Amino acid sequence: MKKILVVDDSATSRLLFRMHFPKEYPATIEEANSYDSAIARAGEIRPDIIFLDYNMPGKNGIDVARTLIGSGSSAKFILFSANLQQGVLDDAQALGFTKIIEKPITKEKIVSALKVITP
Amino acid sequence: MNLTEIQHDILKEIMNISVSKAATQLSVLLNDKIQMEVPEISFLTLSKARESMPEDEENAIIYQELTGMLSGRTYLVFQGKDSLFLAQAVLGDAFSRSNDKPQFYEHEAMMEIGNIVISACISTIANLLKDRIALSTPVYMEDSLPRILLAQSNDSDIVLLIRTTLHASRRDIPGTLVMVITSELAGSLINKLPRFFELIEKRP
Amino acid sequence: MSELLSFQQVCDRVPMGIVILTGEYRVVYWNRWLEQKTGVPAAQATGKTLKELYPDFENKRFVWAMENVLNNHSPQVMSQSLNHFLIPIPINNRGRHGLSLMQQHVQIAPVPVPQGSILAMVSIQDVTENVIRSSAYTELAQKLMEDSSRDPLTGVYNRRFMWDWLLPQLKLISRAKTPLACLMIDIDHFKKINDQFGHAVGDKVLVSFVGVVNYCLRESDVFVRYGGEEFAAFLPGNDLKGGVNAAERILNTINTSCLASFDAGRITCSIGVSSWDYNDPCTGEDLLKTADKHLYKAKNNGRNQVVPVIV
């Protein structure tokens, strides 16, 4: 059973993630809607996989990963973004993100990301 | 016209994706890292929308007509001064002058920037809602937006305001995308929002 | 009549390039203008991609624009300012502007065809001349703006220059015993225009006002923005009568000109005239003071007039 944390300021986007998450994949899904709540939830549940939205008010998804990695998290990070600029990709790659998914979220995209983590 | 919290949230996420795609395109063109804030959206009657805007501000406006799922008009609006910075960011330092009004090359550049942002936004909205929206060729003008809305629209029309700020490496440029549609079409847009949750794999 | 015209007849006569591309970016039509400008005959272009025709053709922006046209039916503009050109066409008359390729304004429009597919019509306008002209204007404008003796908005001399010029000029004419007329010119109700239409419109009025007055003056006259909507003009060699005549000419021309977006006659001005005469010399300050006194008299008498009146 994997523990998954999905961080997105949009309730719609979190709902879309749950809807498209493959039922057969053994996992529990927790949510956070901001940088602060993501840091707090990650500390409590110690997730194995964290799906991060890039564009959030205040600090972005890459900031969340940077803080968590700095505090010793061993989670795998996956970035969601409609903004696939080279600068964003470079930042994510430098931090060792497992995969970058272009928004909108679909089932196929989630499955392909999970495959990289558990082939 | 009031939106439920869920409708508002769906619309906001659709606009967030659309605006981000536009930012990506713009960054290719500007060869610069362009970030965009999560947009603020509001759904208002035309008269309310007008009241929320400063009357005599000089705006740089790029305007295109919409047909298809949404018929109406869409305006990309910058403050006069900001538009000059945007154009200069694209055109490079060769064109920076002490004068504070966009001219010559800037008009053309602004029209193309506007065309890119509007096309990227509108096509993403159409794709996410599995429908089609066609656009006319862009028109560039300098005027105050409330004055134009007064001249080109009916009071019963509905306005979707999408406000965001572009962060280029050298400066921040606030911009607003304004879509003016009839009230019937606004209703049908709301009815189509749940389509966003359907599997999004193929274009219409 | 129009049904007798073929598409090709029309397209081969328009003074711009027209190329129609398929969804696979292959040329299906290449008009005569393009044949003439590029030297590539239509028969050779047809069926090829732009990349095949021009091996260096690598244009991300064009690809994105084409995708938008083909997938979203959204017309696209590729401006000269941001893209310079689409198809490399060398130009012969290399001037000092340093351009070696034709500058192009490009539009791409979707053209639906009966089988449900879509073609892209790319129209190419030659804007090289405009680019050369614009850059010349920009250069000239920049020079004027950078000049510290000029007003940055209108490009005419500023007050600082006026004093630097006036004092030596008075010395010069007292030796040469020639007269000098001084005009103080003020745009009527300018504050109202600013309040009612905004500063942007006000600025446009100032700029076009200066253009008209400059047109009425001679090369040797000195035209100064004195402050706000008030201007001073110095006409060497003119006595009071000559100055009043010139002032009336300016007043009438302003009355019959469209300034900014206003109809002719909507913007008027008042003018006070004074003169320096070697029989009755005065200081520069007094010269201006007299003109100013006459200007206020013109304002008080109902504006849109010249004081003094000389019969």
**Residue range C160-210, pLDDT digits in tens:** 889 989 998 999 898 889 999 999 999 999 999 888 888 888 998 999 899
Q: Do A12 and B21 touch (CB under 8 A)?
A: no
Q: Do B23 and A84 touch (CB under 8 A)?
A: no
Residue to substitute from C63, C74, C123, C194, interface B, most B β-carbons within 10 A: C74
Q: Read off the pLDDT of residues B85-105 as tens digits, 9 standing for 90 and up.
A: 676 666 654 444 434 444 556
Residue B136 token pair: 């006319």
Residue B203 resides in a domain? no
- A57 CA: distance to closest CA in chain B (Å): 6
3-state helix, strand, coil in chain B (%, to 5): 45, 25, 25
Residue C26 is given by DSSP the state B
Query: Are A38 and A63 spatial neighbours (Cβ–Cβ below 8 Å)?
Result: no
Which has the minimum average pLDDT: B149-153, B167-171, C63-67, C213-217?
A: B167-171
The answer to whether residue B17 scores a pLDDT higher than 60 is: yes
B–C CB contacts, 8 A cutoff, strictly below: 82
Place of tokens 């005469």: C277
Instruction: Give the domain CATH number at A100.
Output: 3.40.50.2300
Range of the domain at B120: 5-80+112-197
Neighbours of C146 (CB within 10 A): 11
CATH homologous superfamily, domain C2-134: PAS domain (3.30.450.20)
Residue B37 is given by DSSP the state P
3-state helix, strand, coil in chain C (%, to 5): 45, 20, 35
Count of all residues that appear for chain B in the document: 204
Is C35 part of the annotated catalytic residue set?
no
Q: Do B36 and A84 touch (CB under 8 A)?
A: no
Range of the domain at A33: 2-117
Nearest Cα neighbor of C257 from C200, C298, C225, C210 is C210
Helix (H) or strand (E) holding B180: strand B172-181
Looking at residue C96, its pLDDT comes to 57
What residues of chain B lie within 8 A of the CB of C61, using their CB?
28-29
d(CA C68, CA B116): 9
CA B130 from chain center: how many Å? 20
* The residue type at B140: Y
- A31 CA: distance to closest CA in chain B (Å): 16
Place of tokens 């600068």: A87
The answer to whether residue C117 scores a pLDDT higher than 80 is: yes
If 0-12 CB within 10 Å is exposed, 13-18 middle and 19+ buried, where does residue B81 land? middle
Instruction: Give the domain CATH number at B116.
Output: 3.40.1550.10
CATH homologous superfamily, domain C149-307: Reverse transcriptase/Diguanylate cyclase domain (3.30.70.270)
Using the CB atoms, write b or e for A81-107: b if 16+ within 10 Å: bbbbbeebeebbeeeebbbbbbbbbbe
Q: Residue B132's pLDDT band (boundaries 50, 70, 90)?
A: confident
Measured CA to CA in angstroms, residue C19 lies from C86, C113, C296 at distances of: 11, 15, 65
- Mean pLDDT value across residues C273-289: 92
The better pLDDT of the pair B170, C262 is held by: C262
- Mean pLDDT value across residues A63-74: 93
- Chain B meets chain A (3+ C-beta pairs below 8 A): yes
What residues of chain A lie within 8 A of the CB of B33, using their CB?
85, 87
Q: Residue B198's pLDDT band (boundaries 50, 70, 90)?
A: confident
For chain C, the average pLDDT equals: 89
Domain residue ranges of chain C, discontinuous segments joined by +: 2-134, 149-307
Q: Do A13 and B13 touch (CB under 8 A)?
A: yes
Residue C59 is given by DSSP the state -
Residue C90 is given by DSSP the state B
- Chain A meets chain C (3+ C-beta pairs below 8 A): no
Domain count for chain B: 1
Looking at residue A22, its pLDDT comes to 92
Residue among C138, C145, C200 whose CB faces B98 most closely: C145
Nearest Cα neighbor of A10 from B128, B36, B15, B188 is B15
Q: Do B119 and C78 touch (CB under 8 A)?
A: no
What ipTM was estimated for this complex?
A: 0.83
DSSP codes, C175-229: HHT--EEEEEEEETTHHHHHHHH-HHHHHHHHHHHHHHHHHHS-TT-EEEEEETT
Contacts of A70 by beta carbon, 8 Å cutoff, 6+ apart = none
Looking at residue C31, its pLDDT comes to 95
- Mean pLDDT value across residues B62-74: 88
